[in-house]
Amino acid sequence: MSSENITSVARESRKHTAPRDFQAQANIGSFARYRKLYAESVNAPEKFWAEQAAEHLLWRSMWKKVLQWKAPHAKWFVGGKLNVAENCLDRHLGTPRENKAAIVFEGEPGDQRTLTYKQLHQEVCRCANALESLGLRKGDRVAIYMPMVPEAAVAMLACARIGAVHTVVFGGFSSEAIKDRINDCQAKAVITADGGWRRGKIVELKANVDRALEATPSVEHVIVLERTKNPVSMQTGRDVWWHDVVSRASHRHKAKAFDAETPLFILYTSGSTGKPKGVLHTSGGYLLGTTMTAKYVFDLKETDTYWCTADVGWITGHSYVVYGILSNGATSVVYEGAPNHPEPDRFWSIIDRHAVTIFYTAPTAIRAFMRWGDAYPKKHDLSSLRLLGSVGEPINPEAWMWYFKTIGGGRCPIVDTWWQTETGAIMISPLPGAIPQKPGSATLPFFGVVPKVVDDQGKEVPKNSGGKLVITRPWPAMLRTLWGDDDRYTRQYWSDYPGIYFTGDGCRRDSDSYFWIVGRIDDVLNVSGHRIGTAEVESALVSHPSVAEAAAVGRPDELKGQALVVFVTLKNGVETSEALKETLRQHVAREIGALARPDSIRFAAALPKTRSGKIMRRLLKEIAAGGAVKGDTTTLEDFSVVASLQSEG
Ligand code: 7RM
């Protein structure tokens, strides 16, 4: 879609600077310090990255060249050797971190477990030995289909330790989705569990794997963790129990050094059409990017208890539950279940009981908490928190302010982190002690990241007008290719503007040069020649006291090009009515302008979302146009949501 004059109308001007005591202790404590480091990172990038790589990672051999760039292919730290698992574990042993909690786990039923760095290291060594004893070697692909339990991280790190390439398939995906992903990367082994807990029920992971494996000839071994004691069938010769092969293996394992460009993992992400894309990340650059961003964006300190609520099946779980956090020697909280089990205060109860200091979640969750009401957070002591984070979508200013006041008690900075599966690490975000925040803006780029907002010709657009977000230089944690489809890699990301990475997102910069992401460019609406970001219409709607969540889509319209259809879920206790529809229409017109007045408002009990909470507007578009839902729905969280929207016609 063309980017000409995306009408960007959000005008949020509130600016929040971190409290003085936060700044005083911050890893980057002033705007001047950020500017200085940023300038160094873009003026002499190879020098900057060489220094950072030496400071932040443990290398077995030094690289010969920092960057080899032949667009669109990058190699970072060429000739350097390291072991990612050793960086996340072994290097903390023999230091005061050895007996520090690496993972603090809470299962949904309430069971708790803490693994120190020493214990986690032993588990990973056992798992690495088990994988090797099954014949897995460097370069082999291993699918991981697990609940959010420490063993999911153990399995990932064990793969990294032996140079195998993991592909984590989110535990909520169907057997169809597992099958496609296994076949695409020809995985030799699967690591799964007899089940996982979700809202008091067992998710039948092993049964899903069994169904998938009817059509995956590459799989030779399945390792099954006993989590729920749910009966499962075990196929002799193929399936083995974790407690037989892992727990009994030696807790000593010598980590080999691997080339910096050794593939670390493939993570499938849904494309707008059919086949999911297997995003490939490699070792040295990815680990440097996640380690540095974790340290500076989350302002990690030795004493922090950090909790990112993302599942490991999502890039956020890879980068900011496992790799970037453990590499810093920090404590990572892992929670297995739903935010509203047994009650909608579960997250606040976890923060209270574990004295969480840094909390990172998604706007979709924040809006759900708002909808459930303030009484739940108010029941708990959240005073341990010192920093909040947001990821996954633009956060609407309404939700930002609620998060800031109700969860952060008005004292915690919020880092609104923009990045993608493809970017591997956070790209645009406040550094909390240095960059003043504006609710709804991801603010400014991280070190070495050079984003621009451009028109279709690649020319930078003026301040305050909309365009496409691109990244003009390679960065260490960038994806290297799409697994098995390098042409698609080039076409998808590097063809709109040769040599420049196209993110697929629409954006504008304000007069402070802050970045405001307005959503995926395919989601930009064109109403009577005006281009409007879905995020802006949705943000206007949720600023109304009756509205919990909203999704805006275009429906083909002879007169206007596109008519604006919005799907709205209401706050608890609010009744639907024609009068409310009219009120909301007027509300949007007042907030944005008459051009954005919705043509049609549809109340819905729920919106179709991916597992990571992103609204699937593609499906809503099809529903709005009156057609059937086609294309890939494997990433959809709950198909019944679509069915009920369709039946409401
Ligand atoms: C980390 C992640 C990537 C897409 C991205 C955006 C949207 C993510 C923000 C955001 C506005 C943010 N990876 N997105 N974070 N939009 N502000 N802070 O989400 O691959 O699953 O999705 O998500 O559209 O392109 S992802």
- CATH code of the domain containing 641: 3.30.300.30
Residue 88 inside a domain? The answer is no
Instruction: Return the closest-CA partner of residue 85 out of 141, 155, 169, 143.
Output: 155
Q: How far apart are CA 593 and CA 190, in angstroms?
A: 53
Q: How far apart are CA 553 and CA 535, in angstroms?
A: 10
Q: Is residue 107 part of a domain?
A: no
- Are the CB atoms for 58 and 328 separated by under 8 Å? no
Q: Is cis: bond before 598, omega within 30 of 0?
A: no
Residues counted in the chain: 649
How far, in Å, CA of 551 to CA of 557, rounded? Answer: 18
Q: How far is CA 370 from CA 154, 345, 610, in A?
A: 34, 12, 20
Is the shortest distance between the CB of 523 and ligand 1 below 6 Å?
Answer: no
Which CATH number do you get for residue 342?
3.40.50.12780
| DSSP label of 17 | P
pLDDT at residue 272 greater than cutoff 70: no
For ligand 1, is residue 420 a contact (CB within 6 Å)? yes
pLDDT tier at 499 (50, 70, 90 boundaries)? very high
Does 452 lie in the same domain as 417? yes
Whether 94 maps to a domain, the answer reads no
**425 shares its domain with 296:** yes
Q: Which two tokens stand for residue 210?
A: 């069994």
Which tens digit of pLDDT belongs to each residue from 112-158? 999 999 999 999 999 999 999 999 999 999 999 999 999 999 999 99
Q: Where are the alpha helices (H) located in 89-149, listed in sequence order?
A: 117-133
Model pLDDT, residue 636? 73
Distance 507 CA to ligand 1 centre (A): 12
CATH number at residue 226: 3.40.50.980
Domain that holds residue 361: 3-83+267-516
pLDDT at 331: 98
Higher pLDDT pick, 646 / 354 = 354
* Domain match, 581 and 622 both: yes
| Top mean-pLDDT range of 100-104, 267-271, 593-597 | 100-104
Rg of the chain's alpha carbons, rounded to an integer? 24
Surface-to-core class of residue 509, CB atoms within 10 Å of its CB (0-12 exposed, 13-18 middle, 19+ buried): buried
Is there a cis peptide before residue 363, judged by omega within 30 degrees of 0?
no
Give the pair of three-digit tokens for residue 39. Answer: 């300038």
Question: Contact 571/548 with Cβ under 8 angstroms?
Answer: yes
Is any ligand 1 atom within 6 A of the Cβ of residue 290? no
Same domain, 286 and 242: no
For residue 161 the two structure tokens come to 């330790």
**Are residue 544 and residue 625 in the same domain, yes or no?**
yes
Report if residue 450 sits inside a domain: yes
Determine how β-strand 305-308 pairs with β-strand 358-361.
Answer: parallel
Does the CB atom of residue 535 touch ligand 1 within 6 A?
no
Closest C-alpha residue for ligand 1 atom 15: 392
pLDDT digit string (tens) for 302-323?
999 999 999 999 999 999 999 9
Among 491, 516, 541, residue at a domain's last position: 516
Q: Indicate whether 245 belongs to any domain.
A: yes
Instruction: Show the tokens assigned to 108.
Output: 């949904």
What distance in Å separates the CA atoms of residue 29 and residue 534, rounded to the nearest whole number? 35
Q: Is the CB of 502 under 6 A from ligand 1?
A: no
Instruction: Name the residue type at position 154.
Output: V
CA-based max dimension of the chain: 71
Q: Report, as an integer, the average pLDDT of 373-388.
A: 98
pLDDT score of 174: 86
Ligand 1 pocket check for 517: Cβ under 6 Å: yes
Token match 């990367």: residue?
Answer: 185
- Regarding whether 290 and 165 lie in a shared domain, the answer is no
Give strand pairing partners of 306: 332, 358
Yes or no: say if 467 and 453 are a contact pair by the CB < 8 Å rule: yes
Residue 91 covered by a domain: no
Give yes or no for residue 11 having a pLDDT over 70: no
Q: With contact defined as beta carbons under 8 Å apart, do 412 and 386 qualify?
A: yes
Which residue's entry shows tokens 């705007």? 31
The verdict on 492 and 590 lying in the same domain is: no
Give the end of a domain, one of 461, 485, 516: 516
∠ CA 157-479-490, nearest 5°, is: 150
Coil, helix or strand at residue 523: helix
Pairing of strands 263-269, 277-282: antiparallel
Examine the fold and report which residue of 256, 279, 295 is the final residue of a domain before the chain moves on.
Answer: 256
How far apart, in Å, are the Cα atoms of 235 and each of 133, 203, 285, 467, 594?
18, 20, 39, 54, 63
Same domain, 379 and 285: yes
- What pLDDT, on a 0 to 100 scale, did the predictor assign at position 2? 42
Neighbours of 510 (CB within 10 A): 18
Cis peptide upstream of residue 342 (ω within 30 degrees of 0): yes
Residues 278 and 245 in one domain: no
**Number of compact structural domains in the chain:** 3
| DSSP state letter for 464 | T
Q: What is the pLDDT of residues 167-180, one digit of tens each?
A: 999 998 889 889 99
* CA of 181 relative to ligand 1 center, distance in Å: 22
Q: Which amino acid belongs to residue 520?
A: R
Q: Which residues have CB under 8 Å from 324's CB, separation 6+?
A: 287, 289, 290, 291, 293, 294, 425
**366 in contact with ligand 1, CB cutoff 6 A:** no
Pick 503 or 556 by higher pLDDT: 503
Does ligand 1 lie within 6 Å of residue 311's CB atom? no
Residue 596, pLDDT above cutoff 90:
no
What confidence category does residue 5 fall into, taking pLDDT thresholds of 50, 70 and 90? Answer: very low
Q: How remote is the C-alpha of 211 from its chain's centroid?
A: 28
Q: Give the pLDDT score at 354.
A: 98
Q: Are residues 432 and 534 in the same domain?
A: no
* Pocket lining: 442 vs ligand 1, CB cutoff 6 Å: yes
pLDDT at 271: 64
Q: Which residues, listed in sequence order, are joined to residue 456 by a DSSP beta bridge?
A: none
Give CA–CA dist 191/136, Å, rounded: 12
Residue 97 maps to a domain: no
Q: Which long-range contacts (CB under 8 A, 24 or more apart) does 623-632 make?
A: 624/553, 624/554, 624/555, 624/565, 624/600, 625/555, 625/556, 631/273, 631/274, 632/270, 632/271, 632/273, 632/274, 632/275, 632/276
Report the 3 state secondary structure along 284-341: HHHHHHHHHHHHHHCCCCCCCEEEECCCCCCHHHHHHHHHHHHHCCCEEEEECCCCCC
pLDDT, one tens digit per residue, over 213-257 is 999 999 999 999 999 999 999 999 999 999 999 999 999 999 999
For residues 15 and 77, state if they share a domain. Answer: yes
Percent of the chain with pLDDT over 70: 96
Separation between Cα atoms, residue 315 and residue 421, nearest integer Å: 5
Q: What distance in angstroms lies between residue 437's CA and the mean position of ligand 1's atoms?
A: 18
Residue 8 has pLDDT above 90, yes or no: no
- 6 — pLDDT class (breaks 50, 70, 90): very low
The CB of 391 under 6 Å from ligand 1? The reply is yes
Q: What is the pLDDT of residues 50-98, one digit of tens each?
A: 999 999 999 999 999 999 999 999 999 999 999 999 999 999 999 999 9
DSSP for 568-580, please give it: EEEPTTPPP-HHH
User: What percent of the chain is modeled with pLDDT above 90?
Assistant: 81
Nearest CA to ligand 1 atom 10: 393
Residue 452 CA to residue 321 CA, distance in Å, equals: 29
User: Taking the CB of residue 174, how many other CB atoms lie within 10 A of it?
Assistant: 17
544 and 508 in a common domain = no
Does ligand 1 have an atom closer than 6 angstroms to the CB of 268? no
The verdict on residue 250 lying in a domain is: yes
- For 408, the token pair is 């952060």
> What pLDDT score was predicted for residue 628?
76
Please say if the pLDDT value at position 587 is more than 80: yes
More confident residue, 574 or 10: 574
Q: If you take atom 2 of ligand 1, which residue's CA is the nearest one?
A: 420
- Mean pLDDT of all residues in 569-587: 93
d(CA 128, CA 471): 37
Q: Which of the listed residues 393, 446, 617 should we mutate to test ligand 1's pocket, taking the one with most ligand atoms within 8 A of CB? A: 393
pLDDT digits over 501-545, tens only? 999 999 999 999 999 998 888 777 777 777 777 888 898 899 999
Hey, CA dihedral for 361, 367, 372, 374, is it positive or negative? positive
